[in-house]
Amino acid sequence: MTWCSRTSRVIGLTLVTLSLFSWSTTTKPSEQRPLLLRRGNGCTVCQNCRPDAEALRDPCLERMRRRAPESFRALWQTNYGRFEVTCVRDRAPVWVDRLFNLLVNGFYNDMYFPRVVDSTSLKVVQFGTAGDPTISRIYNWSTTTSPCGILEPQPDAMPFCTTTQPCPGVPGLSNTFGTLSMSTSFNEATHTTWNATSELFINTGDNHFLDGMRFVPICDIDAAGMATVLRFPSFGELSELGGSGPSLGRLYEEGNAYIVSSEDWAPSMARAWTAKLCVET
């Protein structure tokens, strides 16, 4: 298992040591808490959560540092159907706050799912690069100019809860079928992560070996949602990992135009039309 040291991070298959990287500037979530709570069985999407490109381009803004509710749900509408995630803040507070604010401001609208891996050693769907390259570049850890692009602190400095590191009263998860985690890089020497920004991955199989590498699952997806995710087609491993699939680095730099320009990928690659928070019902 590795995250390759290049223009963006990807899940690989062998373990490497990465040098620790951090920004000197840290951010704290605002105590402002919108009323977006997990209630009821259905998902009524938030109608007041309008895309805010200005906020997305500056993750230091208060509008990008709001404290997430203790739990919340969000609904992705894709060209293959819909899937709903349920997230719990205490599993990884800094990461869940970022996910919440990205959802509120429309970051995950209109983006592709470029990496679908179903191998004997790894089963994931990885995504989280904005369709607009002027936004996606802010969340590319190797090129970002924002002191708030990379999240701080990260595990182990950030409290987190999993099935292998349980916390009282917190339903911890493992990287197994139907869970969603934030993509990051793992430092083998310090046993810490260091460059989480916006990328996510869905576990489509048993990847519990990732638990010890601090890939903390923060949300779960129900059976109906996973049926949608399992329909997403694969176009081979990312080119940075020697595959025939898309380049994650180019996707960061060029946005959706990079996928649209390919007659092989554009017609059938999984694409999220919208990703919105569910509101109290």
Q: Which of these ranges, 19-23, 62-66, 121-125, 202-206, has the smallest mean pLDDT?
A: 19-23
Q: What is the mean pLDDT of residues 234-244?
A: 95
Residue 198 to residue 141: CA distance in whole angstroms = 10
- Does residue 281 have a pLDDT over 80? no
pLDDT, tens digit, 9 for 90 and up, residues 49-94: 889 999 999 999 999 999 999 999 999 999 999 999 999 999 999 9
Helices (H) and strands (E) in the chain, counts: 6, 12
Task: Say which residue, 31 or 64, is predicted with more confidence.
Answer: 64
Residue 21 to residue 281: CA distance in whole angstroms = 42
Which CATH superfamily hosts domain 44-279?
A: Cyclophilin-like (2.40.100.10)
Confidence of residue 205 (pLDDT cuts 50, 70, 90): very high
- Does residue 37 have a pLDDT over 90? no
Q: What is the mean pLDDT of residues 26-35?
A: 45
Share the mean pLDDT of the chain: 87
Task: Say which residue, 227 or 35, is predicted with more confidence.
Answer: 227
Q: What is the mean pLDDT of residues 165-175?
A: 96
**pLDDT at residue 2, rounded to an integer:** 38
**pLDDT at residue 7, rounded to an integer:** 36
- Does residue 42 have a pLDDT over 80? no
**pLDDT at residue 40, rounded to an integer:** 44
pLDDT, tens digit, 9 for 90 and up, residues 105-143: 999 999 999 999 999 999 999 999 999 999 999 999 989
Tell me if the pTM is above 0.75: yes
Copy the structure tokens of residue 132. Answer: 């607009």
**pLDDT at residue 97, rounded to an integer:** 98
Task: Tell me the residue ranges of DSSP E strands in the chain.
Answer: 44-45, 71-78, 81-88, 111-112, 115-118, 123-127, 179-182, 186-187, 192-193, 200-203, 217-221, 271-279
Residue 123 to residue 110: CA distance in whole angstroms = 24
**pLDDT at residue 50, rounded to an integer:** 86
